[in-house]
């Protein structure tokens, strides 16, 4: 049985912030509950107040504001995995969301909760690094914006007392246009090929002890931007998880990919570098031998997926904008 | 704290402690003992119920998070005593041994069929991935869901 706590069930963010003033002791925000509830049940967490954010409509939103994709922190993994907008504009996030836990877990677990739980193996976390996501954090001292990368590693930049993650956003565009066919104004410095938009693709992969309902032994997310003519990589972000206390970017490898084509020789070189990263991250660990082999398969999955997307992208770019797949809603809850 | 929600089509107004889980309220306050506690941490799926027609682990949901929602338990599959097609199929296909996982299996399968009346074998496997059974080996469960959905094939089901 859980220890006693008081509970607040606000209907809006404004009401949540007002309630904070009257709360003493430890405050725990509750999203889907898939981590917090069992932690309270076995006594690992004993907050004085539990504030349920799961029925605040403005926090469950998934939308495109013309420039960035914005997700409320209580968007569930089921909503994210099923969103045509996310599939189109941040595919690696949709892929990761679809591989978190089971159907039951995905129906409750939230993106904000995955960030706050900060598991070394959290599936959305390398994705947020690969998409260079930013967080909006609200609390007694007001609002602050911070990159997810700084949020997770810099001392003092994580959640402070009473703070909640309100939203997560990232630049639109695996494909340079929106799901409804509107053109996304691309950053002019990104490409120069006579008005053709750059090719942007992303992918997520994970290895666990079974195919689903599994905690990642390794997970990886990759984002690539290529100029549309020769398919030269102009920008990339690569992140690995489950190799330390938190997932991390591989900036050296990203730099080495720049200026090259996404071909088999690139994948061979990147795979070697990934094995070195494993050796450097967990030297002497019992899992090192396994993970330095397993990462070859993970790299083959993720980069194979990227290659596949690029070939589809090249084929479809001559046929005008893609109108989005068979998935349902474009925007949720806004 | 007062909790208002709907369970198996009936409106309920209950006095519920903040720390009660949905599973606790269903079993102990409403006497609906179909949902079982297995692992208590979202691995086994024995506590699966529907909240607004989505399958959830009721051991991971605080009861007050169900305020205003509509909850369906295995008891709600046969409100008048007549078994749901899924329940009938589980009996006919021998998809039950000890029965502890069965209510959760049924509710996960029900959520799938509500959303997708004619699922593929792969879709059934994914829908049941969060429900563990230590007796049957899953094959008969898969056959039962296919039977209820009318998608059963005459051939052998792929071994798990």
- The pLDDT of A182-196, averaged and rounded, is 46
pLDDT at B56 over 70: yes
Q: B159: pLDDT confidence band, cut at 50, 70 and 90?
A: low
Distance of residue B34 Cα from the nearest chain A Cα, in angstroms: 17
- DSSP secondary structure, A27-49, as one string: EEEESS-TTHHHHHHTTS---SE
In contact, A156 and A136? CB cutoff 8 Å: no
- Closest to A162 measured CA to CA, from A141, A135, A134, A136: A141
Distance of residue B55 Cα from the nearest chain A Cα, in angstroms: 5
Chains A, B: CB pairs < 8 Å: 91
Residue A257 or residue A314, greater confidence? A257
Helix (H) or strand (E) holding A167: strand A164-171
Task: Enter the CATH code of domain A1-55.
Answer: 3.30.43.10
Report the C-alpha gap between A313 and A203 in whole angstroms: 14
- Beta carbons of B57 and A34 less than 8 Å apart: yes
For residue A102, give the nearest of B17, B68, B130 by CB distance: B130
For residue B18, give the nearest of A6, A32, A108 by CB distance: A6
Rg of the Cα atoms in chain A: 20
- A29-33, A166-170, A171-175, B61-65: which has the minimum mean pLDDT? A171-175
Domain ranges of chain B: 2-77, 85-149
Distance of residue B61 Cα from the nearest chain A Cα, in angstroms: 6
- Beta carbons of B62 and A78 less than 8 Å apart: no
Interface list for chain A against chain B, based on CB atoms closer than 8 Å: 1-7, 9, 30, 32-34, 37-38, 40-41, 50, 52, 54-55, 78, 101-105, 107-108, 211-213
Distance of residue B129 Cα from the nearest chain A Cα, in angstroms: 6
pLDDT at A174 over 70: no
pLDDT at A181 over 80: no
Nearest C-alpha in A relative to B48: A104
Q: What are phi and psi of B58, to 5 degrees?
A: -70, -10
Residue that is written with structure tokens 């790299």 in the block: A299
Q: What are phi and psi of A27, to 5 degrees?
A: -110, 130
Strands B10-15 and A134-139 come out as unpaired
Tally the residues of chain A: 334
For residue A48, list chain B residues with Cβ-Cβ distance below 8 A: none
Helix (H) or strand (E) holding B54: strand B54-57
Structure tokens given for B9: 């089509």
In contact, B5 and B71? CB cutoff 8 Å: yes
Structure tokens given for A276: 């070195």
Give me the CATH topology for the region B2-77: Ubiquitin-like (UB roll) (3.10.20)
**Edge-to-edge strands, sheet with A27-30:** A6-8, A49-52, A27-30
Report the C-alpha gap between A117 and A108 in whole angstroms: 14
pLDDT at B10: 98
Report the C-alpha gap between A160 and A137 in whole angstroms: 10
- Beta carbons of A3 and B19 less than 8 Å apart: yes
- The pLDDT of B153-158, averaged and rounded, is 58
**Edge-to-edge strands, sheet with A142-147:** A62-64, A68-72, A164-171, A134-139, A142-147
Q: A184: pLDDT confidence band, cut at 50, 70 and 90?
A: very low
Nearest C-alpha in B relative to A40: B19
pLDDT at A82 over 80: yes
Q: A161: pLDDT confidence band, cut at 50, 70 and 90?
A: very high
> What's the complex ipTM?
0.95
pLDDT at A195: 53
Beta bridge partners of A202: A223
* B109-137 pLDDT, tens digit each: 999 999 999 999 999 999 999 999 999 88
For residue A40, list chain B residues with Cβ-Cβ distance below 8 A: 19
**Percent of the residues in chain A that have a pLDDT greater than 90, as a whole number:** 81
* B138-147 pLDDT, tens digit each: 999 999 999 9
Structure tokens given for B67: 């305020």
Rg of the Cα atoms in chain B: 16
Residue A112 or residue B157, greater confidence? A112
Report the C-alpha gap between A310 and A203 in whole angstroms: 11
For residue B131, list chain A residues with Cβ-Cβ distance below 8 A: 102
In contact, A164 and A140? CB cutoff 8 Å: no
In contact, A54 and A34? CB cutoff 8 Å: no
- The pLDDT of A143-149, averaged and rounded, is 98
Give me the CATH topology for the region A60-317: Enolase-like; domain 1 (3.30.390)
For residue A105, list chain B residues with Cβ-Cβ distance below 8 A: 42, 57, 60, 130
pLDDT at B80 over 80: yes
For residue A105, give the nearest of B68, B126, B130 by CB distance: B130
Q: A180: pLDDT confidence band, cut at 50, 70 and 90?
A: very low
- Beta carbons of A38 and B41 less than 8 Å apart: yes
Give me the CATH topology for the region B85-149: DNA polymerase; domain 1 (1.10.150)
pLDDT at B132: 97
pLDDT at A61 over 50: yes
**Percent of the residues in chain B that have a pLDDT greater than 90, as a whole number:** 92
Q: A316: pLDDT confidence band, cut at 50, 70 and 90?
A: confident
- Beta carbons of B65 and A54 less than 8 Å apart: yes
Mean pLDDT of chain A: 90
pLDDT at A189 over 90: no
Q: A110: pLDDT confidence band, cut at 50, 70 and 90?
A: very high
Residue that is written with structure tokens 């107004």 in the block: B13
Report the C-alpha gap between B86 and B110 in whole angstroms: 7
pLDDT at A202 over 50: yes
pLDDT at A26 over 60: yes
Report the C-alpha gap between A246 and A219 in whole angstroms: 11
Report the C-alpha gap between B159 and A267 in whole angstroms: 34
Residue that is written with structure tokens 């409106």 in the block: B11
- Closest to A205 measured CA to CA, from A245, A238, A171, A234: A238
Report the C-alpha gap between A132 and A150 in whole angstroms: 11
Nearest C-alpha in B relative to A56: B65
pLDDT at A186: 45
pLDDT at A187 over 50: no
For residue B64, list chain A residues with Cβ-Cβ distance below 8 A: 7, 9, 52
pLDDT at A190: 42
pLDDT at A327: 56
pLDDT at A173: 77
For residue A52, list chain B residues with Cβ-Cβ distance below 8 A: 62, 64-65
Domain ranges of chain A: 1-55, 60-317
pLDDT at A229: 83
């Amino acid at each position: 049985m859980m220890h006693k706590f008081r509970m607040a069930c606000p209907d809006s963010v404004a009401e949540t912030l007002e309630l904070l003033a009257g709360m003493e002791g430890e405050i725990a925000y509750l999203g889907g509950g898939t981590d917090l509830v069992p932690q309270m049940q076995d006594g690992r967490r004993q907050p004085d107040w539990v504030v349920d954010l799961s029925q605040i409509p403005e926090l469950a939103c998934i939308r495109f504001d013309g420039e960035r994709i914005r997700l409320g922190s209580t968007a569930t993994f089921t909503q994210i995995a099923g969103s045509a907008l996310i599939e189109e504009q941040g595919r690696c996030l949709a892929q990761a969301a679809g591989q978190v836990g089971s159907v039951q877990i995905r129906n409750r677990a939230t993106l904000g909760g995955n960030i706050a739980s900060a598991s070394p193996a959290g599936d959305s976390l390398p994705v947020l690094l690969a998409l260079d996501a930013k967080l909006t954090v609200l609390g007694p001292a007001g609002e602050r914006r911070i990159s997810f990368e700084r949020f997770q590693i810099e001392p003092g930049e994580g959640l402070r007392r009473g703070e909640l993650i309100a939203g997560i956003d990232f630049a639109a565009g695996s494909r340079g246009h929106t799901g409804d066919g509107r053109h996304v104004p691309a950053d002019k410095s990104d490409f120069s090929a006579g008005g053709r938009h750059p090719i942007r693709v992303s992918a997520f992969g994970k290895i666990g002890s079974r195919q689903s309902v599994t905690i990642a032994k390794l997970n990886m997310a990759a984002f690539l931007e290529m100029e549309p003519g020769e398919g030269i990589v102009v920008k990339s972000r690569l992140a690995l998880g489950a190799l330390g206390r938190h997932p991390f970017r591989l900036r050296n490898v990203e730099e080495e990919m720049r200026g090259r084509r996404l071909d088999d020789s690139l994948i061979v070189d990147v795979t070697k570098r990934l094995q070195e990263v494993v050796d450097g991250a967990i030297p002497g660990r019992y899992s090192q031998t396994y993970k330095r082999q397993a990462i070859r398969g993970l790299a083959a999955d993720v980069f194979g997926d990227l290659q596949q997307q690029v070939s589809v992208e090249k084929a479809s770019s001559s046929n005008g904008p893609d109108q989005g797949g068979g998935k349902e809603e474009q925007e949720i809850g806004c | 704290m007062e909790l208002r929600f709907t369970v198996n089509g009936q409106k309920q107004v209950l006095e519920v402690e903040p720390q009660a889980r949905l599973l606790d309220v269903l079993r102990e306050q409403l006497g609906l003992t179909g949902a079982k506690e297995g692992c208590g941490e979202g691995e086994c799926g024995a506590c699966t119920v529907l909240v607004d027609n989505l399958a959830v682990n009721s051991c991971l949901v605080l009861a007050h998070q169900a305020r205003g929602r509509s909850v369906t338990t295995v008891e709600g599959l046969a409100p008048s005593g007549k078994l749901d097609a899924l329940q009938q199929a589980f009996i006919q296909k021998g998809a039950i041994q000890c029965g502890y996982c069965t209510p959760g299996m049924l509710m996960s399968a029900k959520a799938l069929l509500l959303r997708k009346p004619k699922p593929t074998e792969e879709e059934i496997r994914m829908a049941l991935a969060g429900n563990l059974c230590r007796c049957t080996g899953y094959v008969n469960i898969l056959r039962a869901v296919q039977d209820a959905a009318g998608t059963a094939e005459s051939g052998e089901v792929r071994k798990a």
